[in-house]
């Protein structure tokens, strides 16, 4: 995987979602400057190579291998969207590696409707529809306030999608479509859920349901924010991360 590493100190590993890259966490890298912040591009995304059949389990294994190569025995983890599902599995299956979890726009796994939509999106990507996909996500996954007052965030989301390899994006859609819930009751570390009040992709109710199954967890709902929290409301996200990661 392509991996960016900034700073020194206690490691924080950030895992992006579908259509994201390490750049998803640019505002957080600056806010966590006193830490060693590690941001990979998952296989089939960004600058990382394609693999034939990516999967949620495969992403988990790749993160474990990355940590081993970097000599990391335990780290704080931050995930966005699909990255939150990957990290739920990581924490449930490799608990000793995970000191804490901050899950932004958390998903327990795709619903039947979401699975169908992801498969349609994969087909659209393969037919040359990345521009249509990016426009749909900019419209549907960012808040009204973001679209009206934060054009740079909307442009970032659009470019993040458009710059993906179409086949890699399609394969990642299929990997997420085949995802399944983690056994979150096994998660023993502290967990912070941060969710946008206007997030229609992963509404606050999903985080609330997940939190009810995890003993050491709490939820923060960010007003006037959609699904792309890291760039829509970076100040609010950074403030919560600084308080949580210690």
Domain ranges of the chain: 2-244
CATH number for the domain running over 2-244: 3.40.50.1820
Q: How confident is the model at residue 33 (pLDDT cuts 50, 70, 90)?
A: confident
Indicate the pTM of the whole model.
0.97
The tokens describing 70, both together, are: 């970097």
* Percent of the chain with pLDDT strictly greater than 90: 98
- pLDDT tens digits for range 61-76: 999 999 999 999 999 9
Residue 30 has pLDDT above 90, yes or no: no
pLDDT range class, residue 57, cuts 50, 70, 90: very high
Reading the block at residue 132, the tokens are: 């249509």
Q: Which of 176, 189, 235 is nearest to 216 (CA)?
A: 189
Looking at residue 226, its pLDDT comes to 98
């Amino acid at each position: 995987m392509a991996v960016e590493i900034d700073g020194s100190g206690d490691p924080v590993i950030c895992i992006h979602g579908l259509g994201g890259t390490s750049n998803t966490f640019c505002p957080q890298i600056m806010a966590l400057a006193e830490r060693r912040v590690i941001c990979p591009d998952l296989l089939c995304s960004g600058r990382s190579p394609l693999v034939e059949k990516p999967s949620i389990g495969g992403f988990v294994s790749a993160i474990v291998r990355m940590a081993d190569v970097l000599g990391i025995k335990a780290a704080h983890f931050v995930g966005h969207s699909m990255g939150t599902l990957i990290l739920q599995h990581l924490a449930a299956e490799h608990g000793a590696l995970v000191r804490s979890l901050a899950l932004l726009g958390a998903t327990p796994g795709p619903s039947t409707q979401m699975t169908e939509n992801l498969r349609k999106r994969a087909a659209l990507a393969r037919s040359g529809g990345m521009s249509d996909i990016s426009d749909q996500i900019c419209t549907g996954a960012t808040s009204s306030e973001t679209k009206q007052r934060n054009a740079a965030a909307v442009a970032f989301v659009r470019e993040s999608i458009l710059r993906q390899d179409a086949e890699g994006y399609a394969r990642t859609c299929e990997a997420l479509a085949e995802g399944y819930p983690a056994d979150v009751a096994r998660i023993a570390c502290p967990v912070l859920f941060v969710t946008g009040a206007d997030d229609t992709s992963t509404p606050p109710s999903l985080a609330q349901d997940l939190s009810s199954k995890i003993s050491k967890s709490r939820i923060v709902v960010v007003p006037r924010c959609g699904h792309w929290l890291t760039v829509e409301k970076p100040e609010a996200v950074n403030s919560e991360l600084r308080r949580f990661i210690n």
